[in-house]
Amino acid sequence: MNRLEIKEFISSAIEPKNMCRIFFKYNYNYSYHFPLMVSDKLFLSANEDDFIIDGFSIRRFRDIKKVEFKNDKCDEIIKHEGILDNIEVPQIDITDWHSTFSSLSKLDMNVIVEKESLDEDEWAFYIGKIVKVLKSKVIFKHFDADGIWQEENYEIPYSQITSVTFASRYIDIFSKYV
């Protein structure tokens, strides 16, 4: 699939609330998403994990290798359980990373920013809050695995970001204890 076909496929899943199995270039495994919104370069989705919606993510179309509908018993269960009935689409401008971070910063919540890669040495993971949104990068305050805020802020160039996650169980629960 080329990028346009991928974008059209994901766009077609929004209104009927179809679950998509998405294969990313930086991951050997696929993940499940309910697409909620698309822009030219990015898409916003609700993340599915074992019959629950576990937060939202914004990702780049260019990182997708393959996408397909997940049309099986699990998808049927999710619809019958009404798991999708209460999803509210976050009001975020996903035109590009700059607009995305500008929108997220107004929500004043902790987020995860990642640079995903098949090479573990290239992988970067930041969890914390947005300090400042600049033209080509975001200034980010990160806390570590012990819940300790790092003294220095990180400057994360938009060109290195593959995904932003927010309102997930991991972020919300961990954030209570930092």
Residue-range domain boundaries for the chain: 3-81, 97-176
pLDDT per residue as tens digits for the range 120-164? 899 999 999 999 999 999 999 999 999 999 999 999 999 999 999
What is the per-residue pLDDT for 29? 93
Average model confidence (pLDDT) across the chain:
95
Tell me if 69 sits within 8 A of 20, measured CB to CB.
yes
What's the rounded mean pLDDT across residues 166-177? 96
What is the per-residue pLDDT for 121? 92
The pair of three-digit structure tokens given for residue 171, joined into one six-digit string: 């972020």
What is the per-residue pLDDT for 84? 87
Q: pTM surpassing 0.85?
A: yes
Architecture of domain 97-176: Roll (2.30)
What is the per-residue pLDDT for 39? 98
pLDDT per residue as tens digits for the range 36-75? 999 999 999 999 999 999 999 999 999 999 999 988 898 8
Q: What are the C-alpha distances in Å from 165 to residues 5, 65, 72, 132, 155?
A: 24, 20, 26, 17, 18
- The residues facing 125 across adjacent strands are 114
- In this structure, which topology does domain 3-81 adopt according to CATH? SH3 type barrels. (2.30.30)
The pair of three-digit structure tokens given for residue 126, joined into one six-digit string: 């930041």
Given the structure tokens 């290239």, which residue do they identify? 122
What is the per-residue pLDDT for 142? 96
Measure CA of the first residue to CA of the last residue in the chain; give whole Å. Answer: 43
pLDDT per residue as tens digits for the range 69-120? 988 898 889 989 999 888 889 999 999 999 999 999 999 999 999 999 999 8
How many Å separate Cα 55 from the centre of its chain? 8
Among the residues of 21-118, which ranges form H helices? 73-81, 97-107
